[in-house]
């Protein structure tokens, strides 16, 4: 059973009362009467927080705080203080304590502090898990996030089809990350040492199809939105696949290709060839348990891009995110994370009525302004902070009508 709070107090009556208060608030608690009893539970992967009295015989709360910091400097420790211990508790905050509360402590004061500490702890552990994924040699684990059974199934399917070398059809709802899954398949395939060439299918003629295949020689050609291929090009592609031994094709679509075949807009031969090895990306509405993982990841990325600390995501905020359907899937969740990092959650409802391009433009403009504000209007420094070439940065400023001088502080 996962533990939310490790309660450390030598007074059994106080300890039992604390545990009861936590359980009434739907928090799981593990009691310990001393540092020695608590020590074995303090570990880098401990999922909860520590609530400890300061004054205990032998090794007291300060000793426990120092020990916990040595094991994991990001493990929250909340100290309980007597009336005369407040100066010491303030000093403990400087030594790494998350917070302190004076005894006797009412549940209305205690529970919010512990919930805030738990939210912080969960975000820390999730970020560590994501970083570990990014360092693994498995691109499916490194790039396809999620802890749900559907996310596991997607990674398993990608691992199965990637080494086959045959054509693959990647399907999913808008914003689900079709091109990202295609890239992962390429990275895990025998063609990984060759190029990954991405082309839009809309308007592609026979000449541009030949050029795409030529560019992808020895690697993978990803045709995005394959249902948009003109009819003549669909026939040319079906014919080309009979002889294209040096190029692997991955096709992506958000459309129902079987319906397109029935409507006469999709070449049946091409569809059946692609559909032999389909990979389907589930919508976020099918796996809401993955929303916290993805949102935390996007928040961390947005904070890094903006050059600001990662903000705390409260459990209430995460619950509201999980209650939404997210028809734009991962792409719209990423936009929400950017707005959250920039302190614009009030714009979420209004932004949802906008098209994706306008949403992204608003977020980009906010990032530019935020960077200029942090750099006191120094455009060259702001460009460096955003890791943009100077010309690109100035082009964006001109596009949004942003004047660096407006953000200089006297």
**Is-contact 388 368, C-beta < 8 A?**
no
Question: What CATH number does the domain containing 28 carry?
Answer: 3.40.50.2300
Q: Mark which of 132, 157, 181 sits at the end of a domain.
A: 132
Distance of alpha carbon 11 from alpha carbon 103, whole angstroms? 13
pLDDT at position 131: 63
Could you tell me if 383 and 316 lie in one domain? yes
Could you tell me if 275 and 298 lie in one domain? no
pLDDT at position 122: 80
Distance of alpha carbon 362 from alpha carbon 73, whole angstroms? 37
For residues 44, 46, 47, 49, the Cα torsion angle rounded to the nearest 10 degrees is -100
Q: Mark which of 262, 282, 302 sits at the end of a domain.
A: 282
Which strands sit side by side in the sheet containing 99-102, from one edge to the other?
A: 29-32, 5-8, 49-53, 77-81, 99-102
For the chain (length 410 residues), average pLDDT per consecutive 10? 86 92 91 93 92 90 91 92 71 82 87 88 73 62 78 91 92 91 90 88 92 90 93 92 87 93 92 92 87 88 82 80 84 89 60 56 72 79 82 84 74
Distance of alpha carbon 107 from alpha carbon 111, whole angstroms? 6
CA torsion sign for 147, 153, 156, 158 is negative
| Burial (Cβ within 10 Å: 0-12, 13-18, ≥19) of residue 104 | exposed
pLDDT at position 356: 56
Write out the DSSP string of 310-364.
PPP--HHHHHHHHTS--TTHHHHHHHHHHHHHTT-GGGHHHHHTS-HHHHHHHHH
**Is-contact 52 75, C-beta < 8 A?**
no
**Is-contact 203 225, C-beta < 8 A?**
no
Distance of alpha carbon 377 from alpha carbon 387, whole angstroms? 16
pLDDT at position 130: 55
Could you tell me if 146 and 256 lie in one domain? yes
How many domains would you assign to the chain?
3
**Is-contact 337 359, C-beta < 8 A?**
no
Distance of alpha carbon 372 from alpha carbon 172, whole angstroms? 38
Could you tell me if 93 and 212 lie in one domain? no
**Domain range enclosing 15:** 5-132
Could you tell me if 240 and 298 lie in one domain? no
CB atoms within 10 A of CB 399: 12
Distance of alpha carbon 15 from alpha carbon 7, whole angstroms? 7
pLDDT at position 351: 46
pLDDT at position 346: 43
């Amino acid at each position: 059973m996962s533990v939310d709070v490790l309660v450390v107090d030598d007074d059994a009556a106080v300890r039992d009362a604390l545990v009861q208060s936590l359980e009434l608030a739907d928090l799981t608690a593990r009691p310990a009467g001393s540092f020695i009893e608590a020590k074995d539970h303090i570990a880098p992967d401990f999922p909860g927080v520590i609530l400890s009295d300061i004054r205990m015989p032998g090794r007291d709360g300060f000793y426990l705080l120092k020990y916990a910091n040595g094991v994991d400097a990001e493990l929250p420790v909340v100290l309980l203080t007597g009336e005369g211990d407040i100066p010491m508790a303030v000093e403990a905050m400087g030594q790494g304590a998350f917070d302190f509360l004076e005894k006797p402590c009412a549940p209305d004061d205690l529970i919010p502090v512990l919930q805030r500490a738990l939210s912080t702890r969960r975000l820390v552990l999730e970020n560590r898990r994501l970083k570990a994924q990014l360092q693994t040699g498995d691109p499916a684990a490194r790039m396809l996030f999620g802890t749900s059974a559907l996310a596991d199934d997607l990674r398993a399917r990608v691992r199965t089809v990637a080494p086959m070398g045959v054509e693959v059809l990647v399907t999913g709802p808008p914003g689900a990350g079709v091109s990202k899954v295609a890239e992962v398949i390429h990275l895990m395939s025998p063609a990984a040492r060759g190029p990954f060439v991405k082309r839009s299918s809309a308007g592609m003629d026979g000449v541009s199809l030949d050029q795409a295949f030529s560019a992808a020689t020895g690697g993978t050609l990803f045709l995005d939105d394959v249902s948009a291929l003109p009819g003549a090009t669909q026939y040319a592609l079906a014919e080309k696949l009979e002889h294209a031994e040096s190029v692997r094709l991955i096709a992506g679509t958000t459309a129902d290709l079987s319906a397109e075949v029935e409507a006469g807009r999709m070449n049946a031969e091409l569809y059946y060839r692609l559909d032999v090895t389909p990979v389907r990306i589930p919508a976020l509405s099918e796996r809401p348990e993955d929303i916290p993982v993805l949102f935390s990841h996007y928040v961390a990325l947005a904070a890094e891009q903006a050059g600001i600390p990662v903000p705390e995501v409260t459990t209430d905020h995460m619950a509201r995110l999980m209650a939404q359907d997210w028809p734009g899937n991962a792409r719209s969740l990423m936009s929400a994370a950017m707005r959250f990092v920039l302190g614009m959650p009030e714009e979420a409802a209004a932004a949802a009525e906008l098209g994706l391009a306008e949403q992204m433009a608003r977020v980009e403009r906010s990032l530019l302004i935020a960077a200029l504000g942090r750099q006191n209007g120094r455009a060259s420094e702001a460009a460096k902070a955003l890791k943009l070439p100077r010309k690109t940065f100035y082009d964006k400023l001109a596009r949004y009508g942003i004047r660096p001088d407006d953000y200089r502080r006297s």
